[in-house]
Amino acid sequence: MPLTNESVLAALRGVMDPELHKDLVSLNMVKHVEVSGDVVQLGIELTTPACPLKDQIQKDIEKAILPLGASDVRIEWSAQVRAAPNRAGQLPGVKNIIAVGAGKGGVGKSTIAVLAAMGLTREGARVGLMDADIYGPSIPKMLGIEFEKPRVRNEKILPIETHGLRVMSMGFMVEPERAVIWRGPMVHGVIRQFLEQVDWGELDYLIIDLPPGTGDVPLTLSQSIPMTGAVVVCTPQEVALLDAIKALRMYQQLNVEILGIVENMSYFRAPDTGKEYDLFGRGGARKAAERVGVSFLGEIPINVGIRTSGDAGTPADCFEKTDEATRDAILAFVRRLAGQVSIKNLGQSPPLELRIT
């Protein structure tokens, strides 16, 4: 087969996205094809900038095209996060809403929400972070903005912008040490206000840090606006896993899809020897995910750097100053999460324009 634009496009129909399990052409990921002599130039648009299998896709493209007689395959990568199919009409600028919840407190749910938001931002996505833990808002402290106050413009609340994120929290509304003593209807009103009266702008992902348990806030969210899905956070202990499964079942009852389970404080790696210790057991979340038929998003270790970055309000340190193994574990979780969102939204976005020159 001669090396032509058409033969290249035909070859790309045989290249499958490893996660989405469809070919690149059917997925509208091929933006343009250009053959110049024996050099092939492609424009490939990923469904998320945090694509976990980009390197594999590149290898598969080269494997398909080089046998046609090409000496070089040059790929111009881009990314366009696709919106959840039920997002039309509500928060139109926000493509995906992801809830981060847990069945019990103390499992590091807010830490996971911050790591997810920061990781997606650093990969190139536009991200908002909404702290819906009304009674115990910790996101402002973890981001170093606990004394900030939002402004109002055109009758809309402007989220605080920091570390590349747009952030809203009850913590901005009350003094840091003041207790919020509210009944359910008042909490319901604040959550609706955060959704309807905050100018979130254009976002690829809005991460919502939920309070622990199965109370008013998840119910309010599910009734107020369609969510792309939920992430359940747990630690390896059996008692924590029991509560995590209850949270997972709650989301399912509310018709919120489960994007996956992540195991936090999964193990401890000694910084001097590199030896790993399973302080709370290990692997329980993976087994639980397999048992209930949802994705396992990864293991985040106990790490002093993660803890100190949260206390200091310097979340970028988790990606820039922590050890390589911990950073890799965090990025693997972030990319798997982005991949699960793409899988859920598969086939729901409008087609992209394909240019063959």
For the ranges 19-23, 73-77, 252-256, 338-342, the lowest mean pLDDT is seen at: 252-256
pLDDT greater at residue 188 or residue 296? 296
**For residue 349, what pLDDT band results from cuts at 50, 70 and 90?**
very low
Q: 226 with 102: CB under 8 angstroms?
A: no
Confidence check: pLDDT of 232 > 80:
yes
Give the dihedral sign, CA 19/20/26/27.
Answer: negative
For residues 12-26, give the mean pLDDT.
Answer: 93
Q: Which pLDDT score, from 0 to 100, does residue 272 have?
A: 83
At 275-295, the pLDDT tens digits run: 888 888 888 888 888 888 999
Q: Which pLDDT score, from 0 to 100, does residue 219 have?
A: 74
Query: Kind of pairing, strands 258-269 and 276-277?
Result: antiparallel
Domain locations along the chain:
5-80, 97-344
Q: Which pLDDT score, from 0 to 100, does residue 173 have?
A: 77
Superfamily of the domain at 5-80 = Fe-S cluster assembly (FSCA) (3.30.300.130)
Q: How far is CA 304 from the centre of its chain?
A: 23
For the ranges 4-18, 282-296, 341-355, the lowest mean pLDDT is seen at: 341-355
Confidence check: pLDDT of 352 > 60:
no
Tokens standing for 11?
């070859």
Greatest CA separation for the chain:
73
Q: Cα separation of 55 and 65, whole Å?
A: 16
Q: Which pLDDT score, from 0 to 100, does residue 176 have?
A: 62
Task: Spell 323-341 as b/e; 16+ CB within 10 A means b.
Answer: eeebbebbbbbbbbbbbbb
For the ranges 37-46, 119-128, 252-261, the lowest mean pLDDT is seen at: 252-261
Phi, psi of 9 (to 5 degrees): -65, -40
Tokens standing for 4?
């032509």
Q: Cα separation of 256 and 227, whole Å?
A: 7
- Average pLDDT over the chain, rounded to an integer: 87
Q: 171 with 141: CB under 8 angstroms?
A: yes
Q: Cα separation of 103 and 116, whole Å?
A: 19
Q: Which pLDDT score, from 0 to 100, does residue 221 have?
A: 76
Nearest to 79 by CA among 35, 105, 43: 43
At 300-318, the pLDDT tens digits run: 999 999 999 999 999 999 9
For the ranges 121-125, 212-216, 259-263, the lowest mean pLDDT is seen at: 212-216
Phi-psi region of 153 (alpha: psi -120 to 50; beta: other; left: phi over 0): beta
For the chain, the distance separating the N- and C-terminal CA atoms, rounded to the nearest angstrom, is 19
Q: Which pLDDT score, from 0 to 100, does residue 353 have?
A: 39
> How many other C-beta atoms lie within 10 A of the C-beta of residue 126?
21
Nearest-5° Cα angle at 26, 25 to 30? 30
Q: 212 with 103: CB under 8 angstroms?
A: yes
Out of 3.40.33.10, 3.10.580.10, 3.40.50.300, 2.40.170.20, the CATH code matching 97-344 is: 3.40.50.300
The one-character DSSP state at 49 is T
Q: Which pLDDT score, from 0 to 100, does residue 182 have?
A: 53
Phi-psi region of 152 (alpha: psi -120 to 50; beta: other; left: phi over 0): beta
Confidence check: pLDDT of 184 > 60:
no
Tokens 């207790």: give the residue. 179
**For residue 106, what pLDDT band results from cuts at 50, 70 and 90?**
confident
For the ranges 32-36, 290-294, 344-348, the lowest mean pLDDT is seen at: 344-348
For the ranges 101-110, 207-216, 268-277, 287-296, the lowest mean pLDDT is seen at: 207-216
CA distances 119 to 109, 140, 318, 353, Å, are 15, 17, 9, 29
> How many other C-beta atoms lie within 10 A of the C-beta of residue 62?
16
Q: Which pLDDT score, from 0 to 100, does residue 255 have?
A: 86
CA distances 21 to 199, 255, 299, Å, are 36, 25, 25
